Amino acid sequence: MRLRSFGLTLLIFVLILTSAACSSGKTDAKPAAGSGEKYTFKLAHITPTDHMWHKAAEKFKEELDKRSGGRMQLEIYPASQLGTEADMVQQISSGSVDFGFITAAYMSSRAPAFTAWFAPYAFKDLEETNAARDTEIAKKILGTLDSQGIKGLDYVFAGNRVMLFKDKEVKKPEDMKGLAFRVTPSPPLQDFYKSMGASPESLPLPEVYAAIQTGVIDGMDMDLDATITNKYYEVAKYGAVTNHMVWPAVAMMNKAKYDKMSDADKKIIDESIKAAADYSAKTRASQEEEFKKTLSDKGMKIYEIDQKLFEPYIKQFDEKYSSTDPLIKEFMDTFRK
């Protein structure tokens, strides 16, 4: 009898222990956050793997993995592997690709409000530019992508625009007169150079090196990062670090997929992209002097041109574009001091 009661007590004890172990196991198995759904996303962009936009994509991947407890994985397709930016946006809009970091320059041809970002000399430096991501107007501009089946998530900045010249030291805007100058195929950027008398050549990034090497173009509008990663220092002697325009990538996602996600998963996406964009702008801002030195060490003459000399061309730009779209006007009213 005593033995039976001991056996019963032991059984109850074992059952209590097992149930405690099971419930703690369940807790451990729970995903860190979100719905529990697993995702393998694709992200496409055009830059080589040593450019800051690619590093920002890797940071985004890392943040998604960490914040979702491993449920959100990201495959990155860099260096135009999935085609031109037009192809990539088409793929994002149809849902065959989930995410893209696409130049605002290209996006301005599909959603004109993105032109606002190319207002020359709108920001003092990269820190000020990065802070502009958080404004109402920056978010309204992203919102104009809704009608294209695209969710505009954020902006990724990796340095401002500079001017590279094959063999002429341009010291003032008027020296640009008659130069065949590569400008990314985007009307606001092209207009800025036309107003100074240059002849803009619409060359996509992969064709630029050969064009300047062979003398098809005399110079180019570029960023310092791509000047290094694409080795333009080998074919351009002069670099005017004008920082005359900012250069955002628009971080975007297929809208239907975003809308279908739980609020907790949307939050993971939003916060991961924010972390990646902050990382990009902060890292890049800290590299400015190092990049200039690298280019000088490679043999380029690196110099500045006084912003005041560009005033008439800035005014012309603002007058033309502020009347084309209410969001561009709002942007200029917000940031022109």
Site string for ligand BEZ, 269-298 (x = CB under 6 A): ------------------------------
Q: Which of helix, strand or coil describes residue 248? A: strand
Q: Please compute, for residue 106, the number of CA atoms within 13 A of its CA located in the half-sphere on the CB side.
A: 19
Query: Identity (one letter) of the amino acid at 182?
Result: R
Among 205, 251, 275, 281, binds ligand BEZ (CB under 6 A): 205
* Degrees, nearest 5: CA angle 122-128-129: 60
Measured over the CA atoms of residue 49, residue 53, residue 55 and residue 60, the dihedral's sign is: negative
Question: Of the candidates 82, 137, 222, 328, which one interacts with ligand BEZ according to CB under 6 A?
Answer: 222
Count the residues of the shown chain that bind ligand BEZ, applying the rule CB under 6 A.
8
Q: Which helix (H) or strand (E) holds 155?
A: strand 150-157
**What is the closest distance, in whole angstroms, from the C-beta atom of residue 175 to ligand BEZ in the complex?**
21
CA distance 295 to 271: 35
Closest to ligand BEZ by CB, 98 vs 223, is 223
By the 8 A CB rule, do 73 and 40 touch? yes
Site for ligand BEZ in 100-139 (CB under 6 A): 103
Question: Among 34, 43, 44, 47, which residue sits at the site for ligand BEZ (rule: CB under 6 A)?
Answer: 47
Q: Least distance in Å: CB of 138 to ligand BEZ? A: 19
- Closest approach, Cβ 118 to ligand BEZ, in A, equals 12
236 contacts ligand BEZ (rule: CB under 6 A): no
Residue 20, Cβ density class (10 Å: 0-12 exposed, 13-18 middle, ≥19 buried)? exposed
Q: Determine which helix (DSSP H) or strand (DSSP E) holds 270, and give its type and residue range.
A: helix 263-286
- C-beta of residue 127 within 8 angstroms of C-beta of residue 281: yes
Nearest approach, Cβ of 57 to ligand BEZ (angstroms)? 13
Beta carbons of 237 and 217 less than 8 angstroms apart: no
CB 159 → ligand BEZ: shortest distance, Å?
A: 8
242 binds ligand BEZ (CB under 6 A): no
Beta carbon of residue 46, minimum distance to ligand BEZ (angstroms, whole number): 6
| Span from 221-229, 234-242, 253-261, 262-270 in contact with ligand BEZ (CB under 6 A) | 221-229
- C-beta of 124: minimal distance to ligand BEZ in Å? 21
Question: Phi then psi for 161, rounded to 5 degrees?
Answer: -85, 145
Q: Which of 44, 46, 74, 246 binds ligand BEZ (CB under 6 A)?
A: 46
User: How many Å apart are CA 180 and CA 176, to the nearest integer?
Assistant: 9
**Which residues lie near ligand BEZ (CB under 6 A)?**
46-47, 103, 184, 205, 222-223, 226
